[in-house]
Chains A and B, each alone.
Chain A
Amino acid sequence: MRTRLHRSSRTVAGACVIAAGVTGAAWLSASSPNSQSHPVPMTARGVVAGTFFTPPDGGTASSTVPSYFQGARVCADLNDNGACDPGEASTATDRNGRFVLHSQQPGPIVAEVLASSTSSAGDTEDGNKGRKAEKGKKGGPGGSEPADIVVAFRASLDQIVESASGPGKKGPGDGPLSADVVLSPLTTEVARMMEADGLPYPKAKSDLATRLGVPVEKVLTDLNTVSGHADQHALLTESNILSDRFTLAATMVRRHDVSPAALAANPAATAPAIAMKEAQQASMNLEGIPRYDHVFVIMLENKATATIKNSPFAPKINAYLNAGNQFTSYFANGNPSEPNRMAVTAADDFGVTDDNSYTCVPAGDSADAVEDLPLPTGVSPCTQATNHNIKNRSNLLTALAGGGMTWRVYSESMNPGRDPRADGIADPTVVARDNVYLASSPVGAIGNPSLLIPFASSLYKPKHNESVNFQNVRNSAEFLGANRTMGGGQWDEAIKAAYPGWEVDQLGKDLWSGDVGQLNYLEPDQCDDMHSTTVQGTVPPATTKITASDCGGSAIIFRGDNYTDYLIKKIQASPVWTNTSKRTAIVIMYDEGTATTGFNSCCGWNPSAGPSIAGKSLGVLVRNAEGSESVDTSVAGYNQGNKGHGTSIFGLLTNQPFAPKGIVDSDAYSHIAFVRTLQDVFQLADPGDDWSYMNRSKYTERFIAANLHLLPEYANSGDTHFDAVRPMNHTFVIPGGYQQKSGFVTPPGPQVGPDGNQTNAWAIK
């Protein structure tokens, strides 16, 4: 975990006093016991504000509204530990969330929202989620027990000074300080950013405003009163996300999690317990994975590491791998495409081993019956022994929506107006010319400029759409709106000509408007993703069918390499990337490789062979209502799934200027490990609760050891690290002499022993 404070925030803040005028640091210095100056009293009036989030419910979208907290404990945090301690002046917010706090000394202000607190926007709640919180617990005098604190908000002293009026505003010794201050998730975030990055207050505040695209004067105001719909929407969304993070921080404190600083020094440390400020930092860096605003996953098709690594047909992808960061022992989850899409969305393929429609459900299985009826044009009912319509199982898309975040699946070459649940169809009215390559290209002189190729069927396939196999996702309000088009295709111009008004490149628009999702799967068509499909045309007036130059063979690798480069350049040219206050990452990956070297997968995989393990049933591990754990054997054919299909490349690019580059992480990871990582990126799980990670992504070594009786596929493991899931954080030091499994066979071959460094490829600084 690389969240150590590299510099003392206080020192830096103090150094900036000259430029920034009177700062909180100056006040703290002036009021410290060793100061020559006498402490001055502080009177702070203000409000504790946040957001009230109503989760999505079926086809009803979520909503986030501003709110005030009543009954929150507000104190002058004179020892600046992020908590209200005995001896620190404190008060409680009224029904309007307002408070007046008198303190003999100035200090940062902390608002502890307690289990007994209530929100102006709804029932009792925790940080903001609209969930019921325990009522009736009261904190002790002068300070609350951690057990009562649902979430803590803070205002830095700099913010208080900035908001101050009266004589004290000019500086220590100038008289009592009188401030009017807002405490919210956003003010807390500014305080946290100052501490994490050693930023002066104005810089932290403007960075946050720049990241959210709102005027700096609005970022720390009362969300209930902020003007402008777009600004308020951006602030409410972020406030909601931050509330979740800081609520988790309070959970860590309440649970007495071990301090990350202590663990960094000694992984076996059992003390001291984490404190609130440290927990708020940790909540932005779960399992060593930093928060990102946007992740773009470019999903390519069916090429093993050895096919791409150093291939003359993939020069650009190789250049990106080397210039960015890469994972060199990355395993697919299954074969063919569809189970891999399910795995990168849900960390499980639920026994699906083919590309069949989401409508394929076992005969008589009413529990899994498709609910979104009538079926769209081009989709038929289907009966199959394996269920392809996954219901009520966790997945990233539902989880993101449940956290007030958004997802997108951008697909290239979609038929205008056609439902994303249906296969693409041929369209003779949309005709493009064959792609022509020069003799100097890696594929040589191929292509016929006179060859006219009508839009082929199967350029778009639901088997390559992460959102289609999950009933909860298809039921959601955002399903159709979150499935969007992506340009750069061979037929784009012809589509525009034949279908005026159809937007072939919603991704391009969204990158400039900022309306991309937190998580974005980019799915090129079956010619641009290296998959291949039958694409033929004619040279009029001849009617002989001629196959397109570059939708098969080695040429398709070169074509896909160029398209990947196009997508990356497009993202990197947009404000989503160039605004480095936003953290944006691009993943270049394949859905599967080709398994021939022995190890099909790792990290949450199903290492058993055949349809069953003799005498044992495999199924989905579930925690029952009464707290017991068991195997849910209701998923027919579950043991056929999650068997993997070998290694493929995995590249990671980030827009953070100080992020480490050139990192090679050769520890074993899988789609399941990737989903765990994304749960950390977007705080969709709690590292302190194994069961909060979805489906097979909870299968860490520790978890497997504790639940081995329910996981027969892992018995007698020869390498428990290899079998188990971990976030992609490069923490594990590969033992000397250990040879990377299924490493690519071209030079330099598998990694032996530890990597050159243990730097986290996801690190942002």
Chain B
Amino acid sequence: MRRRGILVTIALAIVVIGVASGRRGRAESMNGGRAAVPLRLPAVTLSPAAQAGRQIFFDKALSASGQMSCATCHDPQHAYGPPNGLAVQRGGPTSSASGTRAVPSLRYQEYTPPYADLLDNPDGISTPGPGGGLTWDGRAPTLAAQARMPLLAANEMANRSAADVVRKLQASGCGDPFRRAFGPDVFHDTNEAFAKVLDALQAFQLEDPSFHPYNSKYDRYASNKIGGTFTPAEQRGFAVYNDPKRGNCFACHYNGAGLHGSVRLFTDYTYAAIGVPRNMAIPANRNPRYYDLGICGRVDHPLPANSRYCGMFKTPTLRNVATRRVFFHNGAMKSLKDVIRFYNTRDTNPELWYPIVNGVVQKLDDLPLPVRKNLDTQAPLDGRPRGSQPAMSDQDMADLEAFLNTLTDDDGTASGYSPTAPTPVSDTPVRR
């Protein structure tokens, strides 16, 4: 929605280091500790491939440490997002390596198109721009491609190779369902078998309703169901969400009709540079020459030709946002309240968010000066003067938070779907 054209930046000469540091970050509480167990799911028959994918998803044996499965970071108890408040999760052979970005939720990814520099906006109206793809920079075109990354990343599941994954799979209890899905000879060709592992994980995510339950209060509201009546605060918050002069959230966290019959996904898959403060809790950020610049850190978007994309990260869905304890690509925010306040006061009160050195606020401290031209300029991040009136009042922010809480799926009932028939309330008189 309402994307403006991309600002072209001058060529940059900054070093982007994409290698994670192995050093431990600032002490953060390892909350949770609960075992990641699958939810009780609605009665849906998964395909054999999806059943195999489900086994793989929860199998810790497929990691170098033996302590990590997909579900370790993408915890079904937490909307397939991180189970704790760590900015970045730990992994690697000894569970001591840190990641570089916060874990996104795997929910509601089924409609995400592959990345394109000029993706047609799902609203059908806005100017095409960078959009689509999985992960914070869109480098994975499909869920299968995304699944490859943590399996092989040295600071995550840390398997040495595809063959390493396949060997562990053969040795684990998941081998049999895998053979059932893909045939008894599936392990004969290692590369083929690894591709099937990724296919299986994708099938599980696409087929299992727990990845797209659509049973939040907002769903009941927008699908006109019993129980979907907003409280006055939620109703006001929705108005803030949709008001171009206040929250203006819908401009990117688009909730209308999208691609391929999708609705209410709360993202338009686009990318934006919004200048989230540098998070020193990420070990990689100890290196002052290291900047995580999103799209232009991708190997297929090298500098300087792609400098216009620097600093841009993907607009995540806001579904289940209230269940998270870390926000943004670098986990710099720890509460939804802070996120809303950041949007509202980044420009009016930057001292709240950025370090102050010698009395000078280091605004946009995680964006090198040359790429600040890429900053999104839509309200409320519209560059309004410091000390000016923020776009939202305190009441607006409280209401917006109340509204965002309606986007939390009802995991207590898994699907929330009930075929009970209500009595029609107002039949049209029959004219014969």
Contacts and interface: CB of A to CB of B under 8 A. Distances in A.
**Do A and B interact with each other, yes or no?**
yes
Interface of A: 1, 252, 257-258, 260, 263, 267, 274, 282, 286-288, 302, 334-336, 351, 353-354, 592, 594-600, 607-611, 613-616, 637, 639-641, 643-646, 687-688, 700-702, 704-705, 708-709, 712, 715-724, 726-727, 729, 731-732, 735
| 8 interchain residue pairs of minimum CB distance | A640-B261, A595-B256, A257-B432, A607-B223, A335-B257, A353-B261, A267-B429, A721-B426
A701 B424 contact: yes
A613 B123 CA distance: 23
Nearest to B254: A596
B423 to A, nearest CB: 7
B335 interface: no
Interface stretch (B162-170, B187-195, B411-419): B411-419
B432 A688 contact: yes
Contact of A720 (B44, B209, B425): B425
A257 B223 CA distance: 35
28 contacts: A1-B431, A287-B431, A288-B431, A334-B257, A595-B255, A595-B257, A597-B238, A598-B255, A600-B222, A609-B222, A609-B223, A609-B264, A610-B262, A611-B110, A614-B415, A615-B42, A639-B261, A704-B424, A709-B421, A716-B226, A716-B420, A717-B422, A718-B224, A719-B425, A720-B422, A720-B425, A729-B431, A735-B426
Contacts of A594: 1, 123-125, 256
B244 to A, nearest CB: 10
B259 A258 contact: no
Contacts of B125: 302, 594
Interface in B197-246: 209, 212-214, 219-229, 238, 242
A118 to B, nearest CB: 30
Given A302-B124, A646-B257, A726-B428, A599 B222 contact: yes
Given A302-B125, A353-B261, A597 B242 contact: yes
Contacts of A719: 224, 425
Contact of A598 (B222, B415, B422): B222
Given A640-B260, A645-B256, A282 B222 contact: no
Given A596-B255, A596-B256, A614 B225 contact: no
A233 B43 CA distance: 61
Contacts of B429: 263, 267, 731
B431 A260 contact: yes
A702 B430 contact: yes
A353 to B, nearest CB: 4
A724 B428 CA distance: 9
A646 B214 CA distance: 19
Contact of B417 (A641, A715, A726, A735): A715
B224 A723 contact: yes
Contact of A596 (B110, B219, B220, B242): B242
Interface residues of B, number: 54
A717 B223 CA distance: 8
B250 interface: yes
Contacts, number: 183
A353 B259 contact: yes
B261 A334 contact: yes
Contacts of B254: 596
B119 to A, nearest CB: 14
Contacts of B280: none
For B222, B227, B429, which residue has the most chain A Cβ atoms within 10 angstroms?
Answer: B429
A616 B257 CA distance: 22
Nearest to B41: A614
Contacts of A720: 422-426
A282 B432 contact: yes
B258 interface: yes
Contacts of A335: 124, 256-258
Contacts of B431: 1, 260, 263, 282, 286-288, 687, 729, 731
B300 interface: no
B258 A702 contact: no
Contacts of B255: 595-596, 598
Given A595-B263, A598-B238, A643-B257, 11 more contacts: A257-B432, A302-B124, A598-B221, A608-B223, A610-B212, A611-B212, A613-B417, A616-B417, A717-B225, A721-B425, A721-B428
Contacts of B43: 614-615
B427 interface: yes
A641 B124 CA distance: 16
Nearest to B421: A708
Nearest to B124: A336
Nearest to B126: A594
A715 B426 contact: no
Interface string B117-143: 000000111000000000000000000
Contact of B424 (A334, A607, A687, A702): A702
A645 B257 CA distance: 6
Given A614-B415, A731-B429, A596 B250 contact: yes
Contacts of A721: 424-428
A715 B428 contact: no
A609 B214 CA distance: 7
Interface in B323-380: none
A645 B219 CA distance: 16
A700 B38 CA distance: 41
Interface string B387-426: 0000000000000000000000000000101111111111
A353 B260 contact: yes
A615 B416 CA distance: 12
A563 B239 CA distance: 34
Contacts of A712: 417, 419
Nearest to B209: A614
Nearest to A639: B261
A706 to B, nearest CB: 10
A263 B415 contact: no
Contacts of B419: 616, 708-709, 712, 715
Contacts of B123: 594
A336 B122 CA distance: 9
B225 A702 contact: no
Contacts of B264: 609
Contacts of B229: 718
A576 to B, nearest CB: 28
B344 to A, nearest CB: 20
Interface in B252-293: 254-264
Contact of A718 (B110, B214, B220, B257): B220
B392 to A, nearest CB: 18
Contacts of A595: 255-257, 263
Nearest to B265: A609
Contacts of A646: 256-257
A214 B421 CA distance: 55
Nearest to A598: B222
A764 B262 CA distance: 41
A613 B224 CA distance: 15
Contacts of A687: 430-432
A614 B42 contact: yes
Nearest to A715: B419
Contacts of A336: 124
B330 to A, nearest CB: 29
Contacts of B228: 718
Nearest to B243: A745
Nearest to B212: A610
A74 to B, nearest CB: 28
Contacts of B223: 607-609
Given A263-B430, A702-B424, A351 B221 contact: no
A599 B228 CA distance: 12
Contacts of A351: 261
Nearest to A267: B429
Contacts of A645: 124, 256-257
Contacts of A701: 424, 426-428
B206 to A, nearest CB: 8
A610 B225 contact: no
A724 to B, nearest CB: 7
